[in-house]
Every structure is written in C-alpha cells, then in structure tokens.
Copies of this chain bind each other. A is one copy, B any other.
Amino acid sequence: MAHVDPSGKAFPTLLNDCILRAARGEPTDFVPVWIMRQAGRYLPEFRELRSKHPFFEICETPDLACQVTLMPIKRFDLDAAIIFSDILIIPQALGMEVLMSGKGPEFPDPLKQDENLEDRLDFNVVIENRLSHAYKAISITRHALEGRCPLIGFSGAPWTLMCYMIEGGGSKTMSKAKKWLYQEPGKSRQLLDLLAEKVTDHLVSQVKSGAQLVQIFESNAEYLTLDLFREFALPQILKICSNFKNRLQALGIDKNSVPVIVFAKGGHYAMDDLTKAENSIDIIGLDWTMDPLSVRQKTNKCLQGNLDPCALYTNSLELTEKTRQMLNRFGTQNYIANLGHGIYPDADFDRVKTFIDNVHSISRQMNSSK
C-alpha cells in the first residue's frame, strides 16, 4: 500500500492490521469485521448530515466524505473504514447524469441499444483528474483515521455498472441490460471493456491516494446465468484484478500489500470459478444465501460475509447465537466478518454494536480454546 499521500506526507502508522493479516492468510487473534454500507442511513448522524447535503455533494466534497466515513468508526470497534462514495461515479465520469432520489439512483437518459457508445460516453476521460475529489477524500480520511484501522476503496464491476447505465433505475429482471448481452454482444463488450479500463484506473488511483484494500461490487451477478457470467462478467473482473496489481507493482507499490475483495451478490453459481481465480482475487465475499462450509471446501482463500442483514432485527441474545453460528461455519482464520449485503436503513445501531463486539469476543474465545 502507499505509505505517503500524493503530497509526500507520511500516513499515520497502522495500529490495527487484523483485516490485512486475515486477507493475506496470516493468523489473527480475532476475526476482523466491517459492514457494507456502514456509513449509511441507519446512523442518525448520517441522516442529519444528509438532510443538509445532496448525496453526490457528499461524495464530491472531501471533508464531508471524510466526516461520513468516520461516523461508524467513532461509534463502533470496526476493523476497517470504507470511503464514502458510490459505484455510480464511474458512469458520471463517463458523462452520464445520475440523480439520487429516495428510491435509489436514477439515470434520466439511460443508454439505448441504437445509440453509438462514442456519442454518449467520454471514452478519453482521465479518471484520476475527473474524480480527483474522491482521491483527495481518501487521502484526508486515511490521515484522519490516525491508523486506527485500514481504509477500503471500492468500485462497481463492469456488468453491474452496465445494468444501471442501461436500465436507468431499479429493475426486477435487468432484462434491458441482458437484452444487450444477447442482441448486441459486440457493443456490450465495447461498453464492458471501457468500464473495466476506467474501473481499473479508479482502483489504482484510490490506492495511490491511500486506500489499503479494495472491494469490487458485482451486485447484479444474480441476474446472470453461469454462461453469461463467464462470457461477460468474470473475464472483466479478472482483467481488472490483474491489471490493477500489475499497475501497482509498476508504481512501486507491492502488489500483494493491497488485497482485492470480490463480492458477487447472487453469484452462487460462480463459486467454482471465483475460488479458482488464484492470483487475482484475494478475498471472496459471500451473500447471506451462501453456505460458508461449501465454499470453504473449495478454497483456502480468505472469505468475507455473510450474516443476513435482517438478522440485526432480532434480539440481542438471538443475534449473539447467529453470530456464533456464523463464526463456527466460517472458522476464525482466513475470514473477515461482514453482513451478506449492505446494511438496511432501518437497522438498529445497538444491534450493530452487539454484532461487532460479538464477532471479536466470540472469535477470541474460539481461538483461545483451541
């Protein structure tokens, strides 16, 4: 990882490297834990700030993004922070308008099959310049964390971004985006290649400015078949991971020092393929429908996940029991605890604290009783 920010100032010494150790397969005293969307609407302090600032204004204002990123870190004993940002800043950087309503993101003018991609998208955009605010946010946040825990950067995977850019909003089937794959495989590949290139740039720039791990969200894997995933999604993910690592190495950053998490939501069918991707994917994220034991049988890779986000609705006693079950199924090594999906806005933050503290205390107990 980078040890100095782009201005040359040294980052603070890392005081808790547990998640990096787990990612590298090194022994850990306890299981590290973070929560997808941990800086989100379930936090009253976030809702208050959000009532004053539009969503993308927060993303684009480094001080605000930093402030939001730190909110859950101040409340909970988390083992990683994740920069406040959004996967849709890549389509924005390519020239598309994205609005954030209460119902989720909306593209007023989504891509249409009969349009030339060159007419709609800025193929030549320099991501490092266009999204400089995002990288500034990462640098100041890593300083502000004072070494308390590592900072995660992230990006959407190309297929997932393509879905948003074509559907324009929510869809139960992603049938418009899938229609491209079936009817316009060439144009789909052109779009996916472009996205893969810009996603790689984005991930590299995040690491240069201070991110210590990165996660790639293939949130829309659930709509694909294994055949489509192998043709249109997986090759792009693997290309991103491998180019990302090579480019870090070329920048003088040890490529093994920045682990890559791939989270393919609904990608149960892809576990054989993902576990076999030996050198590029370091950590496989599991959604809440996956059986940890069956994936453990396939790989020694570090796994991440997968408590049902709705389990946070239950009482403290039941939640403790479910957390224990999860730890028993994953084991305490090569493992990063998380939910199996982003936390929902109506989650109770007392339960979040219970979950995080239980992951630590139960995994410590399990380790000490070995």
In the complex, what residues of B have CB within 8 A of residue A175's CB?
309-310, 313, 344, 346
Q: Which residue in B178, B181, B289 is a CB contact (below 8 Å) of A225?
A: B289
CA–CA, A140 to B288, complex, Å? 45
Assembly CA distance A227 to B292 (angstroms): 13
Copies of this protein chain in the complex: 2
Main secondary structure of the interface of A (DSSP, over half): helix
Contact between A318 and B182, CB atoms less than 8 A apart: yes
Who on chain B is nearest to A183 by CB? B313
Closest CB in chain B relative to A221 CB, distance in Å = 9
CB A224 to nearest CB in B, in angstroms, measures 8
Give chain B residues whose Cβ lies under 8 Å from the Cβ of A308.
178, 225, 228
How far, in whole Å, are A182 and B319 apart by their CA atoms in the complex? 10
Q: Does A291 contact B (CB under 8 A)?
A: yes
From A267, which residue of chain B is reached at the shortest CB distance?
Answer: B289
- Are A344 and B268 interface neighbours, CB within 8 A? no
Across-interface contacts of A313 in B (CB, < 8 A):
175, 178-179, 182-183
Contact B179 A310 (CB under 8 A): yes
- CB closest residue in chain B, given A340: B225
Is B182 within 8 A of A311, CB to CB? yes
Q: Mark A214-227, 1 if CB is under 8 A from B, else 0.
A: 00000000101111
Within 8 A of B (CB), among A342-369: 344, 346
Give chain B nearest CB distance to A351 CB in angstroms: 10
The residue among A179, A269, A308 with the most chain B CB atoms within 10 A of its own CB is: A308
Q: A348: shortest Cβ distance to chain B, in Å?
A: 11
Is the CB of A173 closer than 8 A to any CB of chain B?
yes
Binding site for B on A (CB under 8 A): 170, 172-173, 175, 178-179, 181-183, 222, 224-228, 266, 268-269, 288-291, 308-311, 313-314, 318, 325, 341, 344, 346
